Amino acid sequence: MKNILIIGSTGQIGSELAMKLRSIYGGSNVVAGYIPGAEPKGELAESGPMEVVDITNAQQIADVVKKYNVDTIYNLAALLSAVAENKPLLAWHIGIDGLLNVLEVARENKCAVFTPSSIGSFGPNAPKDGTPQDTIQQPRTMYGVTKVSGELLSNYYALKFGVDTRSVRFPGLISYVTPPGGGTTDYAVDIYYSAVKGEKFICPIKAGTFMDMMYMPDALRAAIEIMEADPTKLRHRNSFNIASMSFDPEVIYASIKKYIPTFEMEYQVDALRQGIADSWPNKLDDTCARMEWGWNPEYDLDSMTRDMLDKLSKRLK
Ligand code: SER
């Protein structure tokens, strides 16, 4: 990777990935793509170039790729799962029509492409525990439908046209920087904000609902390491299961309570999110990622909780 374009650079993943990529590859070599209304601010705006890149506008993507001689595109434009259920056509337009634009530009300009998939690419008939790398993927959500279709489309472009597409299936991502918007796993971010603000947390997901989660520093490393991996070692491309921790609301609550004993939580289950969560795996098997490109997470629940509480209490002061 020499010249990188991030589409969706001000979102939950993009805002942190952009800064991390700039620290490794140089500020001027990483273009922060954004849509009007979501302009980069602060450090992100000051540390390198930024351009309007709407994923639904193929010409805009092509122009920026040519202008900066881009060789790698991080395609991070997407609606999260709960929002996508309410706006299914827009979710498809961004997730699939948008991806097709990216893949065509990549084919014409010989770019590598990273497009995240998700635990949401599985449905209720996939094995729940130790969900294998290669198994049945029949999601019931529009988010999942776009993720599976995106995996297939990306593999097709690799096989048919030799486009270097690679991807990981992200778990719920937890970070203290940019909040997620409208995902099913968002509760695992919100709970830390309530804890640090000294508020009772109202949990929208039922006790006993286990989902894969990951701390953002591990997720960023995964996104970079997969694109830097030796292609001769990759048997899979789109998309690798990755995992680091799996918990339900009771487990994360107990992990926070260890450090903030007065913290309280009560349940008010959100039917939409609960339905989505119930259709997703409890815990993925990430053996292939470990074997094929050395995936190895650093954070577990306890080390993440300590870091989240520490960083958030400084930010919210
Ligand atoms: N975090 C995503 C969501 O909840 C899952 O990949 O929508």
How far apart CA 149 and CA 95 sit, in angstroms, is 9
C-beta 40 within 6 A of ligand 1: no
pLDDT value for 290: 98
pTM of this prediction exceeds 0.75 = yes
C-beta 243 within 6 A of ligand 1: no
How far apart CA 27 and CA 214 sit, in angstroms, is 26
Task: Write down the residue that tokens 């695992």 correspond to.
Answer: 188
How far apart CA 55 and CA 150 sit, in angstroms, is 14
How far apart CA 44 and CA 24 sit, in angstroms, is 14
What is the 52 CA–ligand 1 centroid distance (Å)?
A: 25
- Of 242, 245, 219, 220, the residue nearest 292 (C-alpha): 242
C-beta 144 within 6 A of ligand 1: no
Q: Report the nearest-CA residue for atom 1 of ligand 1.
A: 172
pLDDT value for 300: 98
Which atom in ligand 1 lies closest to the alpha carbon of residue 280? 5
Q: What angle do CA 13, 171, 173 make, to 5 degrees?
A: 40
Those residues with Cβ within 8 angstroms of residue 311's Cβ, 6 or more apart along the chain or in another chain: 176
How far apart CA 265 and CA 195 sit, in angstroms, is 9
C-beta 170 within 6 A of ligand 1: yes
Those residues with Cβ within 8 angstroms of residue 25's Cβ, 6 or more apart along the chain or in another chain: 1, 2, 4
C-beta 118 within 6 A of ligand 1: yes
Query: From first to last of its 317 residues, what are the pLDDT tens digits of the chain?
Result: 799 999 999 999 999 999 999 999 999 999 999 999 999 999 999 999 999 999 999 999 999 999 999 999 999 999 999 999 999 999 999 999 999 999 999 999 999 999 999 999 999 999 999 999 999 999 999 999 999 999 999 999 999 999 999 999 999 999 999 888 899 999 999 999 999 999 999 999 999 999 999 999 999 999 999 999 999 999 999 999 999 999 999 999 999 999 999 999 999 999 999 999 999 999 999 999 999 999 999 999 999 999 999 999 999 98
Catalytic residues: 143
The token pair at 32 is 């922060």
Q: What angle do CA 17, 20, 26 make, to 5 degrees?
A: 120
What is the 99 CA–ligand 1 centroid distance (Å)?
A: 18
How far apart CA 155 and CA 162 sit, in angstroms, is 9
Q: What angle do CA 63, 157, 241 make, to 5 degrees?
A: 110
Which atom in ligand 1 lies closest to the alpha carbon of residue 84? 7
pLDDT value for 227: 97
- Are 182 and 224 in contact by the 8 Å Cβ rule? The answer is no
Q: What is the DSSP letter of 52?
A: E
Long-range pairs of 65-71 with CB within 8 A, sequence gap ≥ 24: 65/5, 65/105, 65/109, 65/111, 66/109, 68/3, 68/5, 68/31, 69/3, 70/3, 70/4, 70/5, 70/31, 70/109, 70/111, 71/1, 71/2, 71/3, 71/4, 71/110, 71/111, 71/112
C-beta 81 within 6 A of ligand 1: yes
How far apart CA 81 and CA 279 sit, in angstroms, is 12
What is the 67 CA–ligand 1 centroid distance (Å)?
A: 33
What is the 81 CA–ligand 1 centroid distance (Å)?
A: 6
- Of 232, 251, 252, 96, the residue nearest 164 (C-alpha): 232
Q: Report the nearest-CA residue for atom 6 of ligand 1.
A: 118
- CA end-to-end span of the chain: 38
